[in-house]
Amino acid sequence: MSTIFTKIIKREIPANIIYEDDLVIAFLDISQATLGHTLVVTKREYENIFELDDKISAHLYKVVVKLSKAINKAFNPSGLNILNNNGQVAGQTVFHYHIHIIPRYNESDVNFTLTNNYGLATQEELEKRCKAIQSAL
Ligand code: 5GP
């Protein structure tokens, strides 16, 4: 079954489309968490970041940067977040790859706090974490 975003791509359901090319589409997020909140979506139904190849990821991020600059120019926000949720535990609700561009006007616009665990892991443990990632590259 098609995802909700594929339905938008195929014009089966409406959306406020901002940009489109062969590989990606961008439209306003229906929730408008903040004024100008935009989604950049792959046209192919990749489920998450782990399915992306170099070509689509490079192109996608180029479009994200282009649109971020346009949103910045259009609305003059005080800041801007780039967000991508992968997996239900990370807050993903639509399983079709997309990046949120969220212009920020106030600190209270969006609640997203990173726990600060600085100092909890030993240097040895941190080195083990680096090595685990490096050996998976
Ligand atoms: P996720 O939680 O997967 O990172 O983000 C999914 C986003 O898609 C949500 O912010 C939600 O508001 C948006 N969304 C869900 N359904 C629709 C829709 O039909 N149209 C648009 N424009 N956005 C949608």
Q: What is the CATH number of the domain that holds 118?
A: 3.30.428.10
Beta bridge partners of 26: 19, 40
pLDDT tens profile 103-123: 999 999 999 899 999 999 999
The pTM is what?
0.97
Q: Report the distance separating Cα 23 and Cα 38, nearest Å.
A: 17
For position 112, what pLDDT does the model report? Answer: 86
Q: Within the chain, what is the greatest distance between any pair of CA atoms?
A: 54
Q: What is the mean pLDDT of the chain?
A: 97
**SS3 label, residue 127:** helix
Contact 90, 119 (CB under 8 A): no
Residue 3: pLDDT over 90 = yes
Query: Which residues form the domain of 33?
Result: 4-136
Residues 6+ apart with CB under 8 A from 14: 8
For ligand 1, atom 17, the nearest C-alpha belongs to 30
Contact 45, 93 (CB under 8 A): no
Amino acid identity for residue 44 in this structure: R
Q: How far is the CA of 70 from the centre of ligand 1 (A)?
A: 21
* Count of domains forming the chain: 1
Which candidate, 53, 32, 24, 16, places its Cα nearest to that of 101?
32
Residue 1: pLDDT over 90 = no
Tokens read off for 120: 């909890």
Contact 46, 29 (CB under 8 A): no
Atom of ligand 1 nearest to the CA of 31: 12
Q: How far is the CA of 64 from the centre of ligand 1 (A)?
A: 17
Alpha-helical runs (H) found in 41-101? 54-75
